[in-house]
Chain A
Amino acid sequence: MDMKTREHRILLGNEAISRGLVEAGCQFMTAYPGTPSSEILPAVVELKRELGLKLYAEWSTNEKVALETALAAAYSGKRTAVAMKQVGLNVAADPALSAAYIGVAGGLVLIVADDPGLHSSQTEQDSRLFGLFSKIPVLDPASPQEAKDMVAQAFELSERHQVPVMLRPTVRICHSEQSVECRPVPAPSRLADFRKNPGRWAATPRARLQLHQQLNRKLAAIEKEFETWPGNHAFFPAGATQQRAPLGIVAAGVSHAYLNDLLPALGLAGQLPVLKIATAYPLPRTLVADFAARCERLIVIEETDAAIELQIRLGIPVWGRLTGHVPAHGELTPGVIEKLLVAAAVEAGLDARARPANRLLAATGALDLAVRRPTFCAGCGHRSIFYSLRRAFPDAIFPGDIGCYTLGLNQGAVDTVHDMGASISMAAGFYHAYAQDGQSPPIFASIGDGTFYHSGAAGLENAVYNGARFVLLVLDNGTTGMTGMQPTPEFGETADGHAGGIVELESLIRGCGISYLEHADPHDLAGFHRILLDALDHSRAPGGGVAVVLARYACVTQLKGLGTRSALPVEVHHGPRPHTAGTPAALDAAWMPRHQDQLSPCAEACPAGNDIERLMSLAAAGHWSEAAQSLYAEHPFPSSLGRVCPHPCESRCNRGAYDGALSINALERVAGDRGRSAAAYVSKPPPLGKNVAVVGGGPSGLTAAYHLARLGYGVEIYEALPEIGGMLRWAITEYRLPLDVLQRELEVFEALGVSVHTGVRLGRDLAWAELERFDAVYLATGAWRQRRLGIPGEDHAGVFGGLDYLYRVRAGQAQALGARVAVIGGGNTAVDAARSARRKGAATVDVYYDVLLAIAEEVTAARDEGIVFHHGIVPVAFEAGATGGLKLLLRDLAAPQAAGAGGDADSILVCIGGDADLAYLDGQDLARNGRLAIDSWGRTGQPRLFAGGDASSTGAGTVVGAINGGKRAALAIHERLGGKALDAAALQLAGGPGIASANADPDASPRAGQGAAVPGPQAIKLQFFSKTPRAESRHRAPDDSIWNFDEVNSGLASTEASAEAGGRCFHCGVCTRCDICVKVCPSGAIAQIDGAYRIDQSKCTACRVCQTECPRGAISMPAAGVCIACGYCTTWFQCPSLTSGADGLVHIDRRTCIDCGMCIQVCAQGAIRPRPTPTTEAFT
C-alpha cells in the first residue's frame, strides 16, 4: 500500500462506507439505527458538514419507511442510500421485494449490516440469502477499504441495470478500523427528475410478471459482469500445474482477510488455490467453475450462512456449512477458521498442522473469571423501573422489547424479547390466552420511546381494538440510547440537526385509543409503585383497558456527554454492626424482623374500646353477626353509638389526610343493626353472690350494669324517669335515634337478669338506707338540672330550658313554641333542640352561640333544614317584644363595644348544658364543685360508692364518654368486690384496646399496657392504596325530613359498608395476610404457615425490605443505619456503582457513580444516605 502519496484516513468500516457514499455523489440517505450499522448515517452527516454538501439525510422512524422514502428519491434520479441492520431488513422486506422488480432510476444502495456471532442482535440471519430470495444483487466486502470501494461500484451497477444493489458488510467490517484511501468528493449535482411511467412505477400484477422477466434478464447480465468483477479473483500457487489441487478455498468477506493472515501461520502460505468472491449474488458461476476445474474439492468459507455454497452446483465435492465442515452458527473468528481449515486440509490429504494448543487459554479458563454481563449504566432510570416492577409484581408477566431496556432481564422484569414492538402485541396475546381461561395475571409490557415510534403504535391500536387489558410502560429517555443517541420524533431534531416536526408521544399514544395515560417518575420509588398499582387497577376495572404509564427521564449516558450530573452526593455508612459475636451473618434477635400487630389509631381513640380493626375485617367479609358480637364485648350500644357518636376514631383515621377518613361510625351502626341484639349473645353467668345498685339508667349506668351482670353480680338499676336510657331515651332526638333501635339494645338487661326500677328517684323515692344491702353502689345520675344564663329576662314566659324541651318532645308533652324560635348554645343539645323545634312547626330557628361544639354532620343537616347559625353572638338580655313574643338583646363577641343587635322570637330555648342535681346526697361529703368527685376509675372517697357519667367530676359529655366511665367503674367495682386486679381485669373483661388504654396512667404514652405502637400516617405505605372516596351515609332530603321525627340518616347499605371496610381500611399496624412481605423477601425467608407468618431466621439476610414494604406497619425491625452486608442492593438493584468486597460490605465506585441517589431509597437499613453538606475540599 502506498501510504506516502495518497490521502489516507483511519476510518471505521462504517465511516469508510460513508466516505464512499459521498465520494460517489450520493445525495439522499435514509437509515434506521441498529448495531452494527448505526455509525454510517452520522458519518455521512459529518461529511456533509465538513464539506458543505447538498445532501439530504434522515433518521427514518423504521426501516420500511426508510426504504420507501429512499426509493422515491431514486425514482427521481438521485443517487440514494439506505442503511439498516439485518433484522431491520425484515421490516423493510415488503418494499425491498417490489424494489427489485420495479427497479430504480438513480442508483440505490441498500446497506445491510449483518452480525455473525450476535454481538448485538436477535438473529444470525444472512442478508445475502435475502438477496437470493428477493433477487437483489449483493456485494460482500472483505475490508473497510473494499467496502468503501464497493459503494461507487454499487451505484454504477445499480444505475447500469436499474436495480437496487445491496452492500452487505458484517460486524467485523463495520466496526473495524483501517487506513483507508480517500478520494476527492464531488459536489452532487443531479436535480430531481421523476419521469412518469405508471406501467413501471405503478405496475399491476400482469405488468409485474413482465418486470420479473426483465429482472431475470438483468441478473443474467449482472452475473456476466461479476465474472470479471475487480473484487473477485482466483489465486493459484506459484508453479501450479494442470494437476488438480487437493483442496481449493472459496472465501468471501472478512473470512478471506483472516485467511490471508492465517495461511502463513499454518505453513500453507501460497500452497492452496483461493478464490475470493466479492459478489455473493448472483454468483459468477463460470468463474467458480473455472476455478473448481483445477481443484479436487472446494471448501467455502463465508459468513453468516451458506449463500455462496448454495449457489455452487458442480460435479466435485463442495464442503461448507451444509456438509458440516464449517460451523453452522456463530462467528468465523480466526481461531474457528484455523481449526476448520486444518481439519479440511488433513481430510483432503494435505500436510497441515494446527499450532500448539494455547496453554494460557486453558490456564485462564480455570480461573473461573466472573462473567460481565451488560448492565444498565449507573443512574439509569430504566434500572429503577425494572427494580420497581420486579419488587412489586414478582408474579407478573413481563413482555419486553428491543433496546437498552432489554437488560431488564437482569432484574427479572423482562420475560420475553422478540422483535421491535412485540412487547405490546405479545402483552395482548398473553392477556387473551389467559382471559380465555378466566384468568387475569398482571401483565406489564415495557418499550422504549424509540422503539415505540418504530413499531409500537401498530401493536397498541390492535390491542385496544381487540379489548386487551394490560399495563404498558413507555420508557421515554428522549433518545435511541442503545445505538448511540440518535434523535427521535419526540423533539423534532433530525439527523443533521435541522428542526423537523414534533410527534408528541402522548398524542400518539392517545391516538391509538388509550384513555388511561399517566406520567410517572421512576426515581420516586413509592410514587412510581402507586401509579403501577393504579394502572393495573385500571386495566382490570370494568370499562378499563390498556393502561399506559409514561416514564420520562434523561438518558444518563447522554447527560454525561453533555457534561451535566445530578448533585446529591451519596455515601454508604459503615460502622459497628448489631451482630451477635460468633454468628457474623445473623443479626442480634432484636435487630431481626418480627411480625407484631400494633394498635390502630382509631381503636386507640375509641373511648368505648371498640376493636375497630377487627370490626373492619369482619365487616369486609360481611360477617355482621360476628362484628356485632365483637362490639358487644365492649358495650351493649353499637346501634345507638353508630348513630349518635361524635366518632373520635374517624378524626384519628390515617386515611383522613389521604382521601377522607373511613366511615367507621356508619359501619358500627350497620354491625349493630345487622347483628342480632346483644341479648342473643349473652348468657347469665353463675352468680357471684354479691349485689350492686346502679343509680341512674343512662348510658354510663347501663354500661356498668351490663358488665357487672356479665361478671355474675346481682344488679339493680334505679331510674328516676319512666324508662331507662337516659339521654339516649330522653334527650337525643328520635330522628337521630329511633326509639325501637334503642329498645332493641335495652333487651339485653332483661336477658342478663338485671332488675330495673323506674320512676324511682334517690332521695325522694329511695332512701340511702335502702342501698345498704348492696355491696357496691354506682351513682350515674346525670346532669339534668338546666343551667341558667344568668341574664335579665330569663324567667319570661316563653324562655325554656333545652333539655327540658327535648325531654318533653320525647315524652309527647312538648309545649308550642310559636313560629319564631331562638336557641342559645352551640352544643349537641342546642342543635337537637333547634331541629326538634323546626319539626314541631317553627318557621324560623336562629341559633346563637359562642363556640360550636356539636357534631359537624348535625350542624350541616340543621343548616340544610333552614336553621340559621349565628357565630359569636350571645344574648345579654331577653325582653318582652312590642307585638307579643320576645326580644333578644345580643352582643357580637367579635365587636364587644358595638351596640347590640336585636332578635325577635316567640320562644327561646336555652341549651347551655345541665348540672348535676345532687340534692340526694343529703349532706354526704361526696361532691366537689357540684359534681361527684371521683378518680379515673370512678372511685369516690367511700369504698362502697362509685360514680361516673355526667354527674361525676370527670364528666362524660357524650354517650361514648359515659360508656367509658361505666366500663371503668365496673372494673373498679369488680376489683373492690374481690375480682381481678384492675389491669388484668381490664384485659380479661374487655379485651379491647380502649379499656387497655383507659387502664393506663393518663400521663403515660397511649400504648402503655399493651406494649404496642400506634402507627401514624408515616407508617402507612400509601403507594399500595388507591384514592377512593369515602362512603357517605344517605340522608333524607331536608324538605321531606323537617315534617316529622322519622330517622333522617339512613346509613349505609351493608354492601356499601363491606366495600368501605374491605376497600378502604388500611388496617393500620395489623397484619391482613396480604403476603406482600412473602413476595418482597429476597431470600424466601418468610412463609405463611397455618395462617401465621414465620420468618426463618437462618435464611433472613436482615435486609429489612419486609419492614419497609409492609403496607400497614405490621412488621417491626429497627434500622441499623450502617451497611450490614445483606447484599440486597447489589443483588436486586444491581447498580454497577455499588460494589461489595470480600466482607460483603457495600462501597460506592466513585468512578461511575453519578450520585443519582436511588440507592438511598433502595437500602432499607438506612445505610446509604446523602452526604452532609459538601465541604469545599470536595471540589478542589
Chain B
Amino acid sequence: MNCQAIIAGVGGQGVLFAAKVFTEVARHRKVPVLGSQTFGMAQRGGSVMTHLKLGEFCSPLVCEGDADLLLALDGVEAHRSLHYLRARGNGRGALCVANVADSQSFPDRRVAGLLTEMGVVVHTCNADAAALQMNNALAANLVLLGFGASREDFPFSFEEVREATAALSATARRSTNLAALDRGRLL
C-alpha cells in the first residue's frame, strides 16, 4: 500500500501519539514508513503537523496536493492543512477527518465547494466534548482516531488501530485509551 497522511493539531493535543499509532500499524503490516514531526518550540501550543508516508517513498515530507488523508485535531489546523489533500484521480477521493466543536463551521463554506469538486470526503465529530464527558480531556486524539478508523476508506481498520493503541499505551492508561477509541467509533 501507499498512503500519505497529514496529522494536524496544536502542540500538546497528542498529535505525536496519533502518529505513533499509524506507524505501529504500518510496522505490523510490514509496510515501510517515512514521516516527519514537529519538535521544539512549536510544541508549546503552536501549530503542529506530522507528515506520514507509508509504502515506497524516499522522502519524509508530503507534497502539497498529494495527501490521501488529513486527520485534524482542531478545526483551524484542519483548514490550515487542507491544501495537502489530493484531488480525486481515477480512484477514490482523499479523506478528511476533523475534530470540530460545531459541524456547521467545517469546512468553511468558502472552501466546501472546492473540496466536493476535488472529491474530498469530510467526516467531522466533536471529539473534545466526547473526551470531556469521559473526564479524560486529553484523550480527544484517540476519540478522533477511533471515529476516523471506523469510517469507510480509512487506510486502516478499526481493529488494527485498536491493537496498535494497546501495544503503545502504558499499562496504566491502556484501558482508558481503548475506551476513548471505542467512544470515537460510536460517534
Contact = CB atoms under 8 A, between A and B. Distances in A.
B137 A1150 contact: yes
Nearest to B62: A334
A374 B30 contact: no
B110 A172 contact: no
A369 B76 contact: yes
Interface string B43-81: 111110000100001111101111000000000110110
B96 to A, nearest CB: 11
A471 interface: no
Given A260-B58, A265-B63, A335-B63, A175 B36 contact: yes
B110 A3 contact: no
14 contacts: A3-B32, A8-B27, A9-B27, A120-B42, A178-B60, A257-B58, A335-B63, A335-B64, A358-B65, A360-B114, A364-B79, A374-B41, A376-B44, A1151-B128
Contact of A374 (B35, B44, B118, B138): B44
B30 A10 contact: no
Contact size range, A: 35 or more
B39 A372 contact: no
B33 A179 contact: yes
Given A258-B61, A367-B108, A377-B45, A178 B30 contact: no
Interface string B1-36: 000000000111000000100011011001011111
B167 interface: no
Contacts of B41: 35, 119-120, 374, 404, 406-407, 482
A119 B43 CA distance: 11
Contact of A360 (B57, B85, B132, B137): B85
A206 interface: no
Nearest to A1: B32
Contacts of B59: 143, 254, 257-258, 260-261, 334
A148 to B, nearest CB: 14
B37 interface: yes
B64 A261 contact: no
Interface residues of B, number: 54
B140 interface: yes
Nearest to A1153: B137
A36 B39 contact: yes
Given A172-B36, A366-B110, A370-B76, A143 B46 contact: no
B129 to A, nearest CB: 10
B44 to A, nearest CB: 4
B38 interface: yes
A479 to B, nearest CB: 14
A487 interface: no
Given A143-B60, A178-B33, A374-B42, 6 more contacts: A119-B42, A258-B61, A360-B83, A363-B114, A367-B108, A483-B40
A1152 interface: yes
B64 A361 contact: yes
A196 interface: no
A4 B64 CA distance: 32
B82 interface: yes
A364 B83 contact: yes
Contact of B140 (A177, A359, A1151): A1151
A1140 interface: no
A844 to B, nearest CB: 78
A265 B38 CA distance: 26
A1152 B132 CA distance: 11
A1150 B132 contact: yes
A177 B110 contact: no
Interface string A249-268: 00000100110111001000
Nearest to B37: A175
Contacts of B131: 1151
A1160 to B, nearest CB: 21
Interface string A813-834: 0000000000000000000000
B44 A363 contact: no
Contacts of A1150: 132, 137
A359 B66 CA distance: 13
Interface in A397-415: 404, 406-407
A941 B110 CA distance: 91
Contact of B60 (A119, A257, A265, A406): A257
B65 to A, nearest CB: 5
Contacts of A617: none
A14 to B, nearest CB: 9
Interface in B126-157: 128, 131-132, 137-138, 140
B114 A359 contact: yes
B39 A367 contact: no
Interface in A370-399: 370, 372-377
B46 A355 contact: no
A373 B59 CA distance: 27
Interface in A320-368: 333-335, 338, 355, 358-361, 363-364, 366-367
Contacts of A176: 34-37, 60
Nearest to B46: A374
A367 B111 contact: yes
Contacts of B26: 10, 179
Contacts of A8: 27, 30
Contact of B44 (A4, A407, A1151): A407
Nearest to A258: B59
B76 to A, nearest CB: 6
Contact of A4 (B30, B37, B132): B30
B61 A172 contact: yes
A373 B76 CA distance: 13
